[in-house]
């Protein structure tokens, strides 16, 4: 079965510091991968998605970036964090492309101070 | 552009009573529709989906949802609420022709079931 691992689970970083959140998946090959951000425990905002290695689509202009160096690895990064980057970051994969429900990881909670 | 509206920030029901969580959508062409549930500090769990066919869809934990094309709605329902159903619920949509398979989510509705 498909599993999604997100690391780290929680992170507290100062403003201006760099960021790297990692998402790795198992039990599937060539998945579509997604990064969502959830602010204040409410709505989800799609940040990036990837349909394959090295292929990244950005949904919202911001100081974050994403990379997909391997088929089952998706990384969210920032060179300099802002206070507004605080939130709950969720990685997801599309397991069945013809129906499209997404499977989510357990999330990484980022607090920027 | 695709969008989802969940008009209620919170729904309060008594245990044993039926519950409804509302969702309306906007998408070009036929939609794929989904409901997810989120417990505190957890990822989202898939509940059910509508792709095609019967307008009444049954899902996990006794939940069901009714697709209404004329009203562009996909309300989540359960005949008898449990205290353990208290959580944050998200409706999501994807356009049939969207090759990215990305889901657009509503703002979420917090369900509180009181004993």
Go through the domains of chain A in sequence order and give each one's CATH number: 3-112 (2.60.40.10)
Chain B residues near residue A107 by CB distance under 8 angstroms = 41-43
End-to-end Cα separation, chain A, in angstroms: 38
The H or E element containing residue A36 is strand A32-38
The alpha carbon of residue A85 is apart from the nearest alpha carbon of chain B, in Å, by 17
- What's the rounded Cα separation, in Å, for the pair A3 and A27? 6
Name which CATH class applies to B3-114.
mainly beta
- Using the Cβ of A22 and the Cβ atoms of chain B, whether some distance falls under 8 Å is answered with no
- Using the Cβ of A47 and the Cβ atoms of chain B, whether some distance falls under 8 Å is answered with no
pLDDT of residue B1: 77
- Which pLDDT band, with edges at 50, 70 and 90, does A19 fall under? very high
- What's the rounded Cα separation, in Å, for the pair A44 and B38? 11
pLDDT of residue A34: 96
Q: Is residue A47 a contact partner of residue A59, using CB atoms and an 8 Å limit?
A: yes
- Tell me: pLDDT of A99 over 70: no
Residue labelled with tokens 């917090």: B110
Torsion angle of alpha carbons A95, A100, A101, A106, nearest 10°? 50
């Amino acid at each position: 079965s498909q599993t999604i691992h997100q690391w780290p689970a929680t992170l507290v970083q100062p403003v201006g510091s760099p960021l790297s959140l990692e998402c790795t998946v198992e039990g599937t090959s060539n998945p579509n991968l997604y990064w969502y951000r959830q602010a204040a425990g409410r709505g989800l905002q799609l940040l990036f998605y990837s349909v394959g290695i090295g292929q990244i689509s950005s949904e919202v202009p911001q100081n974050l970036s994403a990379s997909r160096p391997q088929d089952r690895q998706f990384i969210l990064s920032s060179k300099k964090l802002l206070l507004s980057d605080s939130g709950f970051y969720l990685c997801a994969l599309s397991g069945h492309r013809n129906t499209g429900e997404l499977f989510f990881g357990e999330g990484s909670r980022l607090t920027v101070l | 552009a695709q969008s989802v509206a969940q008009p209620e920030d919170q729904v309060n029901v008594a245990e044993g009573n039926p519950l409804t969580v509302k969702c309306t959508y906007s998408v070009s062409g036929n939609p794929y529709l989904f409901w997810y549930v989120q417990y505190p500090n957890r990822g989202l769990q898939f509940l059910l989906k509508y792709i095609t066919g019967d307008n009444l869809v049954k899902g996990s934990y006794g939940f069901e949802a009714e697709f209404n094309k004329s009203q562009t709605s996909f309300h989540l329902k359960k005949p008898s609420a449990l205290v353990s159903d208290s959580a944050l619920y998200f409706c999501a949509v994807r356009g049939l022709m969207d090759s990215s398979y990305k889901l657009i989510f509503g703002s979420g509705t917090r369900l509180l079931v009181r004993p």
